[in-house]
Amino acid sequence: MNTSISDNRKQPLVTVIIASYNHAPYIEASIGSVLAQTYANIELLVVDDGSTDGSVELLRTLSIQHGFDLRVQENKGLSRTLNESVARSKGSLVVPFGSDDVMFPHRIATQVAYMEGKPEVGICSANTEIIDATGKVMCEREQRKRNEPFRRLDFDDMFMDRKPGPTAATLMFRREALEKVGGFDPEIRLEDVYIELAVTRAGYFIDVLGEPLAQYRKHATNTYKNGRFMVENVLKTYAVYREHPAYEQVRWRFLNSMFLKYARKDKGLSRELLGMIPLRAWNKKTLRGMIRMVFG
């Protein structure tokens, strides 16, 4: 594989960007799933963002074997890394892909075919299958986003959580949409929520296909498990749209959900969250969270 895989120049070039940070147990499977795509015209850019777990040595070996573009840097964070990678990429379609996730072989081909002739779609997504740290498909109870039907989302759908949202492991961006919104915000480290809202606010739709096209890996260091990180960055993202008439309701709904989620797991964080929710915004989740704090 060269930096650009191309057997058919008439196909749009798709840039896949894998930014890796301390994912040595998973990175080879992630890269391998890109190399195994049935779609030919792919540019693969891999960036190690300051790993300390042996990832760099593995990536250098894989780069020599397969010929993809590898850059190794001091830690800059995902948003900055993605912006720099997009700036040097050549694809008209851009796929940021988790270094711990796995694509199904037909993933890129399916999404490219769908995006053709739909300039109003800034992001194409799909459902995901959940796997564990070893790659085993998890039980049916865990597969919440495997069988969701097709949905088209606009800004209010996203901001007000009116429909099931896109999945990070399956995002494909139209390059012009990324450029129109100025890319990712380096100050907001939860990049997917920010960019999805920015792209839909700019007038594009997000179309989510009703089939799984990737496997999302659940393991001990998933970002969503860091409650304080999630709260800080989601609130920063929502604050961009503080002029929206539903801003306060959206913010309170999120705080109540996070309070309930962490009432038993992290009582220090949950107390802080409760202090951010005014009495008039309390709901059943607030009360359930209080019960968990006391008796959990």
The 10s digit of each residue's pLDDT in 276-290 is: 999 999 999 999 999
Q: 3-class DSSP state for residue 34?
A: helix
Same domain as 173, residue 80: yes
Domain stops at, among 199, 217, 235: 217
Measured over the CA atoms of residue 136, residue 138, residue 144 and residue 150, the dihedral's sign is positive
Return the pLDDT at 227: 87
**Phi, psi of 104, rounded to the nearest 5 degrees:** -75, 150
Q: 3-class DSSP state for residue 180?
A: helix
Return the pLDDT at 7: 46
Measured distance CA(105)–CA(37) in Å, rounded: 4
Domain stops at, among 200, 217, 234: 217
Alpha-carbon dihedral of residues 266, 268, 269, 275, nearest 10 degrees?
A: 140
Return the pLDDT at 10: 81
List pLDDT tens digits, range 200-218. 999 999 999 999 999 999 8
Burial of 1 (0-12, 13-18, 19+ CB in 10 A): middle
Alpha-carbon dihedral of residues 36, 65, 18, 12, nearest 10 degrees?
A: -50
Return the pLDDT at 13: 98
Q: Which amino acid is at 285?
A: K
147: CATH: 3.90.550.10
* Among 3-12, 159-168, 217-226, the range of highest mean pLDDT: 159-168
Average predicted confidence (pLDDT) for the chain? 92
Same domain as 144, residue 39: yes
Same domain as 176, residue 36: yes
Return the pLDDT at 196: 98
Q: Which helix (DSSP H) or strand (DSSP E) does residue 207 occupy?
A: strand 205-217
Same domain as 283, residue 203: no
Return the pLDDT at 225: 67
Return the pLDDT at 271: 94
What percent of the chain stands above pLDDT 90? 85
Total of domains in the chain? 2
Q: How confident is the model at residue 1 (pLDDT cuts 50, 70, 90)?
A: very low
List pLDDT tens digits, range 217-228. 988 777 766 889
Alpha helices in 202-246 (DSSP H): 227-239
| Residue 148 CA: distances (Å) to CA of 13, 118, 151, 159, 280 | 29, 22, 8, 19, 34
The structure's pTM equals: 0.92
Same domain as 108, residue 93: yes
**Please, what's the b/e burial string for 284-293 (b: 16 or more CB within 10 A of its CB; e: otherwise)?**
ebbeebbebb
Same domain as 256, residue 207: no
Specify the range with the lowest mean pLDDT, choosing from 9-23, 34-48, 111-125, 249-263: 9-23
Q: Give yes or no for residue 149 having a pLDDT over 90.
A: yes
**Structural domain of 249:** 223-295
Q: Give yes or no for residue 147 having a pLDDT over 90.
A: no
Return the pLDDT at 138: 77
Q: Give yes or no for residue 49 having a pLDDT over 70.
A: yes
Same domain as 243, residue 181: no
What would the mean pLDDT of 243-255 be, rounded to a whole number? 97
Return the pLDDT at 212: 95
Same domain as 284, residue 158: no
Domain stops at, among 162, 188, 217: 217
Same domain as 148, residue 24: yes
Q: Give yes or no for residue 4 having a pLDDT over 80.
A: no
Alpha-carbon dihedral of residues 150, 156, 158, 163, nearest 10 degrees?
A: -40
Q: Give yes or no for residue 5 having a pLDDT over 50.
A: no
Same domain as 132, residue 81: yes
Same domain as 139, residue 69: yes
Same domain as 246, residue 128: no
